[in-house]
Structure 1
Amino acid sequence: MQFLASLVSSSRGFHRRWNRALSLHQFSSNPEFVEFLRDNGFQKPQAIALAMRYPYIKSLEQPRSVIRLLKSYNFSDTQIQKSIRVHPQMMFYKVEKNLEPKLRFFEEIGFSGSDLCKFLSQNSSVVGVSLVRKLIPTVEILKSIVAPKDEDLTVILSRCSWLLNRDPNLFLLPNISYLKTCGIVGSQLAALLRRQPRIFNLPEEKLRGYVSRALELGFSLNSGMLVHAVFSLSSLSKKTFDRKLKLFVANGFSEDEIADIIRRSPGLMRCAYDKLTQGMEFYIKRMGIEREALVKRPCVLSYNLEKRVIPRLKVLHILREKGLLLNEEKKKKKNTFDIVEMTEEAFLDKYVVRFGDEISEKLLAAYKGHLVDDDDGSSSSHDKL
């Protein structure tokens, strides 16, 4: 009986809460506001949900003026809806004093036409940020790094609009100042901002940690390679980085050799674990290349085996079989890594298109993967280092 009484009591409580919710919904869903939102493309559930957030609206003049402004800037209906969903408060901003000055500001820094509409529809919360205290100071700081390339500024802001939502004195300015003391300045600082903007939003102590780890790996302050090390370290968790170090150890590399590899090619550590594994398997075990050669030219581990390395070695194998490389090899011996590291244009010019139509057609077919050959380019007949 006690259980039944409890169940009945719970049921009554549920119905009371349900009836109260319905009453609140009817009270808070301003029918006129809901209709306004429906007229501007919102589905009924979305319109009701938005209206319930602003139950005490007495006039729709402000939301109407905001919609008119966005349409005057050629925002599509979909972009307007997205902007409001992301930042519904914008419907109640004063157009002349608040919203329009910010739209003009973003136009002035390089966003225009469809780019402006796309940026603000995806990041409409930035219109709620103070123009004087945050937007202008932050943009001026960024322009001092990437100027005079305005397109770089818009790319950076499109990737990390959150930079505009924060006080630049909190992380942005201190981190820029610290990086400059490490010798990361000018184009290096600009490149880091473009490629890894989140590093400028870290507590300074964490940024100092990345620099300390880079110094432990043998990089030095004011070295041109330090920025690459900081970028790589900040792109990986310590667990992932250590796992890749263990991979090199498992393939017979000493601590000194691993340090040399990282100093020569810090970006290599951003390669996928499986890609590094396959590269070592191919060069060391299948081709018999000495580890010392990989220490000197570690970047070859970052190249795609199926699309770049093996097809190029197939082409060399065909040329060697036809005796077309003999005279050239007498003049200047080319090793495997020289061929692998050549640009695409240089490789095609030197080893494919210059041998006549018939041979070049076969070479190009081999290079593009259309020629089936028992030798995949990894046999002992190929160049060794």
Structure 2
Amino acid sequence: MQFLSSLASHVGNLCLRWKQFPYSHHFSSSPNSHSRGQLIDFLKKQGFPKSQAVSMVGRFPHVGSLDRPRTVVQLFRNLGFSDSQIRSSIRVLPQIIFCDATKNLEPKIRFLEELGFSGSALPKFLSKNSSVMSLSLKKRLIPSTEIIKTILSPNDENNKELVKVLSRCSWLLNRDPNAYLLPNIAYLKSCGIVGSQLAFLLKKQPRLLISEENKLRVYVSRALDLGFSVNSGMLAHAVHALSCLSEKTFDRKMKTFLDHGFSEDQTREMIRRAPGLVRCSTDKLKLGMEFYMETMGIKRETLVKRPCMLMHSMEERVIPRVKVLQVL
């Protein structure tokens, strides 16, 4: 009986605390319910369906006045955003409408404009990548873009390459540059991947630069096992190619060559001459080897010396040209 009495008292205290909790009746009689309704109406006026507006507002229980949302939307309109671009920006980062436009958004917008996102390029970029507005200007945006710019082309005054990369891969800015970009770049440079080779990797496989360093080391190790050497200009191409497929897929493609009579050493030599060979589909490799060796009678050793022949489109390039030559 004493236990039941104690339990009842404990439950009573919990109920009392729940009633005193400021948001316990948030969805019924909350003082913010009126403001929530205003925000829902505001979003509907921006073109959001009611269900989506209700869902978005539900994520922000402490809705205050509409001053900030109105200011943010007006800022976007002044920058040339279309209605659909404004909706897209809010949809990508709903909390953006609660930002202080003057203190938080405008400095970052000026920074992007100085980088080269001017005119219609800025709305186009932010409507798809408004999440960058949630990043720290001093700790994330400025240092990350400076690092990327240096890799691409330090002498590119108009930042054309930088704008192109960020437009396609704005997520490069999401991670702490001191924890990912700088250590990975330092490791790649220690392997002899510098200058244009580093720029090649950034453009072709940018996720490598913000991946865990141990993953990057695995790709380099696999490339070295294939016979690529540190400080070789082909190492960057090998790392890129290997990062595009799993070890299981790579092993399956190696087996395809072995099944067609190539030795392991010959296969490795072919990959060293043309690292992109491993990115070709298994069906394409089979078709190419069978056509060249069986239909054309080309020796296996020729393909070992010129593996790029297997990378051409058989249906659209090789076979049609062979037929033309046969007619001639």
TM-score (norm 2): 0.88
Tell whether the 8 Å contact from 2:26 to 2:32 is kept in structure 1 after alignment.
no
CA distance in 1, matches of 2:109, 2:65: 24
In the TM superposition, residue 315 of structure 1 has moved relative to its aligned partner by 2.2
Separation of aligned partners in 2, 1:124 and 1:25: 31
Residue 225 (1) aligns with residue 230 (2): no
1:123 aligns with 2:129: yes
The answer on 1:156 being equivalent to 2:162 is no
Structure 2: how far apart are the matches of 1:49 and 1:27?
16
* 1:109 and 2:115 matched: yes
Q: Give the C-alpha shift of residue 21 in structure 1.
A: 9.5
Count of residue pairs the alignment pairs up: 300
Q: Between the two proteins, what is the percent identity of the paired residues? A: 58
Gaps of at least 5 residues in structure 1 are: 1-19, 320-385
- Equivalent pair of 1:25/1:52 in contact (CA under 8 Å): no
Quote how far apart the aligned CAs of 1:51 are: 2.2
Task: Select which of 238, 245, 253 maps to 2:262.
Answer: 253
Question: In structure 2, what is the Cα distance between the partners aligned to 1:38 and 1:223?
Answer: 58
What SS does the corresponding residue of 1:168 show, helix, strand or coil? Answer: coil
The runs of at least 4 consecutive aligned structure 1 residues that moved more than 4 Å come to 24-29
Distance 1:42 1:113 in 2: 26
- Over the aligned positions, Cα root-mean-square deviation in angstroms equals 1.7
CA distance in 1, matches of 2:147, 2:26: 49
- Report what 2:12 is aligned to: none
Matched, 1:51 2:57: yes
2:102 corresponds, among 91, 96, 101, to 96
Out of 76, 95, 108, which is 1:70 matched to?
A: 76
The verdict on how the C-alpha distance between 1:152 and 1:247 changes in structure 2, with shifts beyond 3 A counting, is: same
Alpha-carbon shift at residue 57 of structure 1 (Å): 2.4
> Do 1:28 and 1:51's aligned partners in 2 also have CA atoms closer than 8 Å?
no
Q: Could you tell me which runs of 5 or more consecutive residues in structure 2 were left unpaired when the two chains were aligned.
A: 1-24
Q: Check conservation: 1:138, 1:164, Cα contact below 8 A.
A: yes
288-297 vs 148-157, greater mean Cα deviation: 148-157
Deviation at 1:160, TM superposition (A): 1.8
Q: Distance in 1 between matches of 2:134 and 2:184?
A: 25
- C-alpha distance in 1 between matches for 2:290 and 2:29: 67
Aligned-residue offset at 1:263:
0.6
User: C-alpha distance in 2, partners of 1:45/1:103?
Assistant: 30
Instruction: Report the TM-score when normalising by structure 1.
Output: 0.75
Q: 8 Å contact 2:32–2:64 — kept in the other structure?
A: no
Query: 1:116 offset after TM fit, Å?
Result: 1.5
AA paired with 1:226?
A: L
Distance in 2 between the 1:240 and 1:182 partners? Answer: 25
CA shift, 1:79, in A, is 1.0
Where does residue 168 of structure 1 map in the other structure? 177
Greater gyration radius: 1
